Structure 1
Amino acid sequence: MISIGQTAPDFTLPRDGGASVTLSALRPQKVVLYFYPKDDTSGCTLEAQDFTAALADFQAAGCTVIGVSKDSVAAHDKFCKKYGLGIVLASDAEGSVCEDYGVWKEKSMYGKTYMGIERTTVLIDAKGQIAQIWAKVKVKGHAAEVLDAVQAL
């Protein structure tokens, strides 16, 4: 499990468009790392659209936005194209980054329990340390709240 003040666990993951993204290589930029359950579902689509709509403001604040799910790169490419997304979407197909960040959790729906990604956002400062964590994120207004935190760093 991660905590505020610790160095963010590093990773290199394949991303939309066929390239890869390495967290430590982004320094000294700030990074918003948001974990979401699945491409092209209602909440995940709205969250990705909200982060994309605010992308210029995040970039002006010296911040990169990366969405992480267990979806494949092909699914990310399709999702980006369908909704005109401008943020980086990384594929954690093996789930190791989800495990490192403590977002792979037991969930329940309609009385059934299963393992899945708990919608979580992590703000990483210019030194690579965790500055803020939002767990069990509610999508509405979340991107604006994260942008406020980025601008306050």
Structure 2
Amino acid sequence: MKTKAFTFSLLLSLSVMATTAQAALKEGDSAPDFKAQASLAGKSFPYSLKEALKKGPVVVYFYPSAFTGGCNIQAHEFAVGHDKFQAAGASIVGVSLDSISRLNDFSADPEYCAGKFPVASDVDGKIAKSFDLSVVDTPAGRKDTRGNDIDHAHTERSTFIITSAGKVYASVGGLAPEQNVVKALEAVQKLAAAKPEKPAKP
């Protein structure tokens, strides 16, 4: 009986995980526009996805929390690879449920964002939910790598490559932080190399 109960519990967990993974926006979906307070190199400013897309594709990456193990690694990898993303014509923006004050510190930290790209504050989780991502409460007592309390909910680690036309070109989820960045760069470079569609004949 215990074995059957365990198997059922495991299958249920896997089913829930699969449902969550499948819920996110897919290739070809329209990306929801958003505006948010963001931080770049320690200074806050109003970020607009619509405005950013006027300059080219945007990599929108959602992460659980600033100053936590995997998120520190991911931010560092995006900062290190920033020039390659830029060379492919794409900009980067991170999104989390952190407060703007936490993000001011995170964006300026030379070990993480290093002032290379902005990180946006989605304190109420509306942006994450608009991308069909789940928002989960963080258990009480959790602390970040600086020893400070994590006093906000979090969303799953998921990255979207948005074309300048506002469509999801690719999404990356379910990978370790380093691989998430590698796959995002591959998608951006593939998008840059793609031949533009020929205009329809009149």
**Is the pair's TM-score, using the shorter chain for normalization, greater than 0.5?**
yes
The one-letter amino acid paired with 2:44 is: G
Q: CA RMSD in A?
A: 1.9
Structure index of larger Rg = 2
Asked if the contact 1:63–1:150 (Cα under 8 Å) also holds between the matched residues in 2, the reply is: yes
| Equivalent residue runs for 1:126-145 within 5 Å | 126-145=164-183
Task: Please state how far the C-alpha of 1:80 moved relative to its aligned partner.
Answer: 2.1
More relative contact order in 1 or in 2 (CA 8 Å, sep 6+)?
1
| Equivalent residue runs for 1:1-153 within 5 Å | 1-16=24-39, 17-28=43-54, 29-82=56-109, 83=111, 84-105=114-135, 116-153=154-191
Distance 2:65 2:37 in 1: 16
Asked if the contact 2:58–2:162 (Cα under 8 Å) also holds between the matched residues in 1, the reply is: yes
More strand by share: 1
Q: Deviations over 1:53-88 (max 9, x none)?
A: 010111111101010000011101111223324121
Kindly report structure 1 stretches of 4+ aligned residues shifted beyond 4 Å: 105-109
The one-letter amino acid paired with 2:77 is: D
Asked if the contact 1:104–1:117 (Cα under 8 Å) also holds between the matched residues in 2, the reply is: yes
Distance 2:48 2:172 in 1: 22
The one-letter amino acid paired with 2:90 is: C
Task: Name stretches of at least 5 consecutive residues in structure 1 with no aligned partner.
Answer: 110-114
Distance 2:75 2:138 in 1: 23
The one-letter amino acid paired with 2:78 is: F
Distance 1:30 1:125 in 2: 4
The one-letter amino acid paired with 1:69 is: S
CA spacing shift, 1:60–1:126, aligned 2, 3 Å: same
Q: Judge which range, 64-73 or 99-108, deviates more.
A: 99-108
In the alignment of these two chains, the number of paired residues is 148
Distance 2:71 2:80 in 1: 14
Distance 1:14 1:108 in 2: 22
Query: What is the aligned-residue identity percentage?
Result: 28
Task: Please state how far the C-alpha of 1:105 moved relative to its aligned partner.
Answer: 4.3
TM-score normalised to structure 1 length: 0.88
More helix by share: 2
Q: Judge which range, 36-45 or 74-83, deviates more.
A: 74-83
